[in-house]
């Protein structure tokens, strides 16, 4: 092998006029000059789900949207999570003017502690809920310099970042408070990034607040539209969050004993509603799971809902079973999460009993099927009542299905379209949707 390599080199040298060493390629040899163009580089989040990060470059300035991590799976044993490759930005960090955050989920903010100093610590523009999550996470990295966070309201007018570029947020619906889309205003028109999005609706008719949220696009000149593709492979509209909450409310109303609600900690808006439901039926609330506790602390801090009925888990025996509602992580069958520990009798404080009602308010993420089967087996051994999204509408995704995405497309008149936040087949399906709605195929970037 090494012989072949050497002879290859020798052969190459015969064609060179000098014996001077070959200069390494510099980045500007490979990447064409920008000129008057706008350059957009997704550093993550396309052809994959996770580590969302997009670069927008114009003249001497760069704005970065999101800085997420990607969660790992069976294909990446021993790896905790994956960061986007930011070499391009590190080489140009003196030109980065802003990091703009769409919302506080880890696939959009999780990379900040690892990347922000490598980016030159630019100001971070975010809504309040995202800011609190970013700060909470940053506490675990005390060696890092303080972050330069600028909290923005959805209703704020455009914020000038450079003489040519402005940033504007617009409210939309996802599953965490303060979810926003981002508009980068450029001399050529708007670059619109929805972040993660769904459309609240009643049997396929978008709610009034949705119509209101997108009204601002009526007179805007959108150069490029980029949008979440996670739910594109599911047709129609999702069940409404309102109907989900109504179903859960009626289950809680008639439950004979304790109610254990398991969902993703990232479903913050739903957790707020669970707290209201518990209050309505005079139930004390127990919060189980580290990420769940973190998010509930922020809910408390922002006074989003009454929280005086939250009690520590150690006090569980002080209340009758029909006065208890527990909100826990672990609906995906995660090995050490609260629900799994309850199911396999290793939880420090809780033993499941026949009168318990357990609601898995989540779908099964592809890849977790086996773990969820195991969890359900374990739960059913206790003869408690188990309700999943297959039995009743107790979950709806934060990512809109195809009908919802199509409706959003129809609210925004754009020239170019780039589907993001999805595997390759999802991006292609989303491209097809845009083409069917009249976007010329040469204007769609996959």
Residues within the interface to Zn ion (CB under 5 A): 105, 107, 196
Task: Give the tokens for residue 4.
Answer: 């072949």
CB of 108 to Zn ion, least distance (A): 6
Minimal CA–CA distance to 273: which of 324, 325, 203, 339? 325
> How many whole angstroms separate alpha carbon 112 and alpha carbon 420?
20
- Compute the chain's Rg from CA coordinates: 25
First-residue to last-residue Cα distance in the chain? 39
Nearer CB in complex with Zn ion: 387/398: 398
Nearer CB in complex with Zn ion: 196/210: 196
Q: Are 283 and 323 in contact (CB under 8 A)?
A: yes
Taking each helix axis from N to C end, the angle separating 402-411 and 424-436, rounded to the nearest 10 degrees, works out to 50
CB of 174 to Zn ion, least distance (A): 5
Sign of the dihedral through C-alpha 110, 112, 118, 124: positive
CB of 421 to Zn ion, least distance (A): 6
CB of 398 to Zn ion, least distance (A): 6
CB atoms within 10 A of CB 150: 12
CB atoms within 10 A of CB 103: 29
Q: Are 231 and 198 in contact (CB under 8 A)?
A: yes
Q: Are 251 and 359 in contact (CB under 8 A)?
A: yes
The sheet carrying 259-262 orders its strands as 284-288, 324-328, 259-262, 357-360, 385-387
Nearer CB in complex with Zn ion: 183/268: 268
Nearer CB in complex with Zn ion: 105/341: 105
CB of 177 to Zn ion, least distance (A): 12
> How many whole angstroms separate alpha carbon 355 and alpha carbon 357?
7
CB of 228 to Zn ion, least distance (A): 7
Measure Cα distances from 21 to 26, 192, 393 in Å.
Answer: 15, 46, 67
Nearer CB in complex with Zn ion: 48/393: 48
CB of 314 to Zn ion, least distance (A): 33
Nearer CB in complex with Zn ion: 107/269: 107
CB of 181 to Zn ion, least distance (A): 12
Nearer CB in complex with Zn ion: 179/357: 179
Nearer CB in complex with Zn ion: 331/350: 331
Nearer CB in complex with Zn ion: 173/343: 173
CB of 179 to Zn ion, least distance (A): 7
Nearer CB in complex with Zn ion: 57/107: 107
Nearer CB in complex with Zn ion: 107/190: 107
CB of 420 to Zn ion, least distance (A): 10
CB of 341 to Zn ion, least distance (A): 27
Burial class of residue 190 in the structure, from the number of CB atoms within 10 Å of its CB (0-12 exposed, 13-18 middle, 19+ buried): buried
CB atoms within 10 A of CB 443: 14
CB of 333 to Zn ion, least distance (A): 21
Nearer CB in complex with Zn ion: 227/260: 227
């Amino acid at each position: 092998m090494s012989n072949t390599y050497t002879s290859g080199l020798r052969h190459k040298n015969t064609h060179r006029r000098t014996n001077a060493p070959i200069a390494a390629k510099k980045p500007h040899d490979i990447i064409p000059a920008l000129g008057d163009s706008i350059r957009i580089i997704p550093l993550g989040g396309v052809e994959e789900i996770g580590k969302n990060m997009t670069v927008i470059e114009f003249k001497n300035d760069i704005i970065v949207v999101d800085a997420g991590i990607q969660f790992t799976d069976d294909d990446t044993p021993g790896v905790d999570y994956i960061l986007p490759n930011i070499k391009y930005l590190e080489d140009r960090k003196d030109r980065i003017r802003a990091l703009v955050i769409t919302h506080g989920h880890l696939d959009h903010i999780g990379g900040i502690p690892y990347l922000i100093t490598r980016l030159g610590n630019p100001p971070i523009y975010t809504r309040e809920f995202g800011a609190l999550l970013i700060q909470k996470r940053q506490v675990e990295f005390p060696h890092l310099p303080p972050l330069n966070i600028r909290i923005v309201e959805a209703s704020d007018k455009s914020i000038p970042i450079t003489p040519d570029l402005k940033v504007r947020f617009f409210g939309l619906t996802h599953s965490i408070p303060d979810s926003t889309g981002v508009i980068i205003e450029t001399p050529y028109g708007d670059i619109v990034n929805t972040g993660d999005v769904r459309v609240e609706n009643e049997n396929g008719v978008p709610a009034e607040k949705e119509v209101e949220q997108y009204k601002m696009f009526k007179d805007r000149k959108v150069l490029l539209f980029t949008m979440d593709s996670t739910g594109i492979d599911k047709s129609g509209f999702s069940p409404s969050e309102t109907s989900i909450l109504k179903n859960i409310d009626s289950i809680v109303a008639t439950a004979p004993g304790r109610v254990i609600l398991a969902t993703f900690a990232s479903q913050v808006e739903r957790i707020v509603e669970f707290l209201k439901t518990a209050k309505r039926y005079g139930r004390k609330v127990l919060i189980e799971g580290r990420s769940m506790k973190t998010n509930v602390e922020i809910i408390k801090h922002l006074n989003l809902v009454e929280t005086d009925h939250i009690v520590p888990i150690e006090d569980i025996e002080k209340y009758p079973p029909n006065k208890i509602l527990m909100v826990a992580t672990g609906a995906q069958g995660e090995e050490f999460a609260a629900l799994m520990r309850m199911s396999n009798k290793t939880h420090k404080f809780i033993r499941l009993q026949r009168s318990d009602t357990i609601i898995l308010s989540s779908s099964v993420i592809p890849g977790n099927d086996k773990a969820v089967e195991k969890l359900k087996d374990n739960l059913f051994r206790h003869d408690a009542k188990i309700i999943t999204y297959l039995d009743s509408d107790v979950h709806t995704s934060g990512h809109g299905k195809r009908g919802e995405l199509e409706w959003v497309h129809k609210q925004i008149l754009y020239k170019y379209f780039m589907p993001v936040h999805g595997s390759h087949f999802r991006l292609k399906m989303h491209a097809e949707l845009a083409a069917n709605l009249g976007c010329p195929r040469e204007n769609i970037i996959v």
